[in-house]
Chain A
Amino acid sequence: MAFEFKLPDIGEGIHEGEIVRWLVKEGDRVEEDQPLVEVMTDKATVELPSPVAGTVLEIKAKEGEVVKVGSVLVVIGEAGEAGVPKRDGREREAAVAAATAASTAAPTPEKPERERAVEEAAPAPAPPPSTRKRVLATPATRRLARELGVDITQVEGTGPGGRVTDEDVRRFAERLKAGVAAPTPTPAAPTPKPEEKEKVEAPRPRPRPVPLRYEELEERVPIRGIRKRISDHMRHAKATAAHFTYVDEVDVTELVKLRAELLPLAEEQGVKLTYLPFIVKATIGALKKHPGLNAHVDYEKEEIIVKRYYHIGIATATDRGLIVPVVKDADRLSVLELAAEIQRLAQKARDGTIEPDEIRGSTFTITSLGPIGGLLATPVINTPEVAILGVHEIKKRPVVMDNEIAIRDVMNLSCSFDHRVIDGHVGAAFVKDVKALLEDPKKLLVHM
């Protein structure tokens, strides 16, 4: 007689569960205690085992459906009993044939769920279906094989009709232990390739390759950790943002004087005052005038997210690679506070103690090439931001002023923009505004 398996009480106060996945299908033969279905409730996924053995006649709840405790989930009985779903033609014949074959030829399902999961995860070791032999064995013998770590398909059965017995399994396990029970080779079974074998075995040193003249002079460095992140991020940035770079030179003679005047005050407070805090201030001043540059692009939603706060990323070279610590709410900090914060974050980045929150959330990034110098660069935008400012070394250069040549402190700026969302003239105007603020630090005072 068909047995109706209902959603059992899986805990007090729980009235329903959602069907995550069926582990059997109609026509399957199931054993008592074999997992039938995964149900989720209260963040718990629970495999429900079958209380009876038989054939799955009808599955009554679909995956994704929410069912009440006490609702019928599945009908289990013998093949041909009432409850077999109405199907027509060849489909029904196939289902009945499958159920009949399962009930007569194999007393247990061919592949319990756990084995199926193993195959999903590691398909390589399983022989191809065409060569996989059908194993006749009782559930107890299968369990014994699992406990002894024996692949039952490799065991020659000596019981009636080739059935594998407990004794067969034990004998095989003993030979395996003694190292003489190499799995019976199946002619069509593929030999695992060396690289597949490496995936499942503990790592071993590779055999030293035959020395070749040039290979000996090469070193293969795995791309991993921070380098992997940088690699992925840069690839993404260059693949998505349409970069264009605008370069200008800035006469920072007055800024050099101002900084020199402020140095004793900074020293008193234990702060190392570089030019970077002034550049951050000038950048924020210009960003306030061009808010579209302090923004992210969300291309999936086709939106520009204009940020009304100023979290400035400072690209920092470290031994481990490029890291971009973020000065949060930089517009609210004084020049000396900015200097202290940049110093703190850069140190943490260099000694590897920076926290994840300190390298996320930037709205605009500045990359300082500093004393390395160079005339110009084409910085890569820290996407999803839309622009990046590259700052070069300050050098004394001859400059024409009032028709005379003067020696001035000059610095170049290389600024890249995402041309998808920033027009050329906007980018140029932004750089001009940064330049104007740096050339006349009195104007910068209003942002301090």
Chain B
Amino acid sequence: MSAWRLLLSLDIDAEADDPTHHRPLARQYALEAAIAEAVAEGRAPPTVWIWRPAEGLALGRFDSRLPRFREAVRALDAQGVELVRRSSGGQAVWQSPEFVNVSVFAPVRGRPRPGVPEAYRRYTQGLVAALARLSLKAEFQHVEGAFCDGPYDLAVDGKKLVGTAQVQKRGVVLVHGTMPVWGGLEGMLYWVSRFYALAGRPVRLERDAMATLRELLGRDLSQDELVEALVLGHEEALGPLVLEEPSEHERVRAEALLAHVRVQPDG
């Protein structure tokens, strides 16, 4: 496998000021889909993308089957919430610049592909190592009452910290995780609960079931400190990372995938 590429997208303000970024979250998820394609096709090396998401709700692969899905989308859209569709499973996840997302794209050539648990283990190792550098011990755990609950989420001291999900397509495995860092869990509670209540399948989330990284550390941490831990943690788990920018091909492809990622109120 060739050397891992590192992509960093941390400057939310710059993107928000760019007139072409008025749907910033959809653009980020479209870029994620474009990178997955490029890695699958061998156009791009294996990649770790560390990014701060714009605000909005990332819906799971299955959410469109909810009984009142369309009504829920219309109601949230009317409130100015940007909705996107991600390719992985699990429930809706609130996205906020208070969070940091990590997406790991690993090419898969031939068979057998890694099993689902194995892929989670292998490609969340970087996050586990990064948290260890911050003196936190993270482990896979179901946490009742947490957002988008699953057995391969990362919890610290019984509180959910990172929500993970996975996609295995021909040529690529994508494992991504959302980590509330500086705040934003109230938004998670409010918008996720509201979406499922409107969609006809209420969920019960509990604030105490989850924590931000800042809360777990009991202190403030800067973006630079976090990014350094994440980069070193992923290098420890995967090998050297080479900092690059997304290719022109990926950017152009992301534009084409935008309509596929956006969830529009009128269908």
Chain A residues at the B interface, C-beta cutoff of 8 Å: 9-14, 18, 20, 33, 35, 38, 40-47, 49, 64, 113-114, 117-118, 120-122, 146-147, 199-203, 222, 224-225, 228-229, 232-233, 236, 300, 352, 355-357, 360-361
With A and B bound together, what is the CA distance between A408 and B78 in angstroms?
A: 45
Docked-complex contact B96 and A43, CB < 8 angstroms: no
Docked-complex contact B186 and A236, CB < 8 angstroms: no
**Which residue, B89, B96, B120, has most C-beta atoms of chain A within 10 A?**
B89
Closest to A233 in B: B80
Docked-complex contact B41 and A147, CB < 8 angstroms: yes
From the candidates B78, B152, B182, B255, name the one contacting A43 in the complex (CB within 8 A).
B152
* CB contact under 8 A between A11 and B98, given known A202-B251, A225-B22: no
Docked-complex contact A42 and B255, CB < 8 angstroms: no
From the candidates B37, B61, B62, B187, name the one contacting A356 in the complex (CB within 8 A).
B187
B150 interfacial by beta-carbon distance below 8 Å: yes
* CB contact under 8 A between A44 and B22, given known A199-B255, A201-B252, A356-B55: no
**Which among B125-133, B219-227, B234-242, B256-264 touches the partner chain?**
B256-264
From the candidates A14, A40, A121, name the one contacting B89 in the complex (CB within 8 A).
A40
Chain B residues at the A interface, C-beta cutoff of 8 Å: 13, 16-17, 19-22, 37, 41-42, 55, 60-62, 65, 71, 75, 78-80, 87-90, 96-98, 111, 115-120, 148, 150-152, 164-170, 182-184, 186-187, 190, 198, 248, 251-252, 255-260
In the A-B complex, the 3 residue pairs with the closest CB atoms? A11-B115, A43-B90, A44-B166
Docked-complex contact B170 and A49, CB < 8 angstroms: yes
Closest to A33 in B: B170
Q: Which residues of A contact B89 (CB under 8 A)?
A: 20, 40-45
Q: Which residues of B contact A114 (CB under 8 A)?
A: 37, 170
* CB contact under 8 A between A146 and B41, given known A300-B198, A355-B183: yes
Q: Shortest Cβ distance from A148 into chain B, in angstroms?
A: 11
* CB contact under 8 A between A360 and B190, given known A14-B117, A44-B89, A121-B260: yes
Which label, helix, strand, loop or mixed, suits the secondary structure of the A interface?
A: mixed
From the candidates A13, A44, A355, name the one contacting B165 in the complex (CB within 8 A).
A44
* CB contact under 8 A between A43 and B80, given known A11-B117, A14-B117, A360-B190: no
Q: Which residues of A contact B165 (CB under 8 A)?
A: 43-44
With A and B bound together, what is the CA distance between A225 and B17 in angstroms?
A: 7
With A and B bound together, what is the CA distance between A200 and B251 in angstroms?
A: 9
Q: Which residues of B contact A225 (CB under 8 A)?
A: 16-17, 22
Docked-complex contact A12 and B115, CB < 8 angstroms: yes
Docked-complex contact B168 and A47, CB < 8 angstroms: yes
Q: Shortest Cβ distance from B81 into chain A, in angstroms?
A: 10
Docked-complex contact A43 and B148, CB < 8 angstroms: yes
With A and B bound together, what is the CA distance between A118 and B258 in angstroms?
A: 11
Q: Which residues of B contact A11 (CB under 8 A)?
A: 115-118
Docked-complex contact B260 and A45, CB < 8 angstroms: no
Docked-complex contact B88 and A45, CB < 8 angstroms: yes
With A and B bound together, what is the CA distance between A362 and B259 in angstroms?
A: 33
From the candidates A9, A18, A202, name the one contacting B115 in the complex (CB within 8 A).
A9
Docked-complex contact B79 and A356, CB < 8 angstroms: no
Docked-complex contact B19 and A222, CB < 8 angstroms: yes
Q: Shortest Cβ distance from B141 into chain A, in angstroms?
A: 13
Q: Which residues of B contact A232 (CB under 8 A)?
A: 78-80
Q: Which residues of B contact A355 (CB under 8 A)?
A: 98, 182-183
Docked-complex contact B252 and A202, CB < 8 angstroms: yes
Q: Shortest Cβ distance from A43 into chain B, in angstroms?
A: 4
A sample of 13 more A-B contacts (CB under 8 A), given A224-B19, A357-B184, is A9-B115, A18-B62, A40-B62, A40-B89, A42-B89, A42-B150, A43-B90, A44-B119, A44-B168, A114-B170, A199-B256, A232-B80, A357-B187
* CB contact under 8 A between A46 and B80, given known A146-B41, A300-B198, A356-B98: no
Q: Shortest Cβ distance from A191 into chain B, in angstroms?
A: 18
With A and B bound together, what is the CA distance between A91 and B16 in angstroms?
A: 53
Docked-complex contact A45 and B170, CB < 8 angstroms: no
Q: Shortest Cβ distance from B78 into chain A, in angstroms?
A: 5
Q: Which residues of A contact B164 (CB under 8 A)?
A: 43
Q: Which residues of A contact B41 (CB under 8 A)?
A: 146-147
Q: Which residues of B contact A120 (CB under 8 A)?
A: 260
Q: Which residues of B contact A64 (CB under 8 A)?
A: 65
With A and B bound together, what is the CA distance between A356 and B251 in angstroms?
A: 29
Closest to A357 in B: B186
Q: Which residues of B contact A18 (CB under 8 A)?
A: 62
With A and B bound together, what is the CA distance between A49 and B170 in angstroms?
A: 8
Closest to B260 in A: A121
* CB contact under 8 A between A47 and B256, given known A11-B118, A40-B89: no
Closest to A203 in B: B20
Q: Which residues of A contact B97 (CB under 8 A)?
A: 356
With A and B bound together, what is the CA distance between A35 and B168 in angstroms?
A: 11
16 A-B residue pairs with Cβ-Cβ distance under 8 Å, sorted by A, are: A11-B118, A12-B115, A35-B170, A40-B61, A41-B116, A45-B87, A45-B167, A46-B166, A113-B170, A120-B260, A121-B256, A121-B260, A122-B256, A225-B16, A233-B80, A361-B190
With A and B bound together, what is the CA distance between A45 and B61 in angstroms?
A: 8
**Which residue, A9, A42, A47, has most C-beta atoms of chain B within 10 A?**
A42
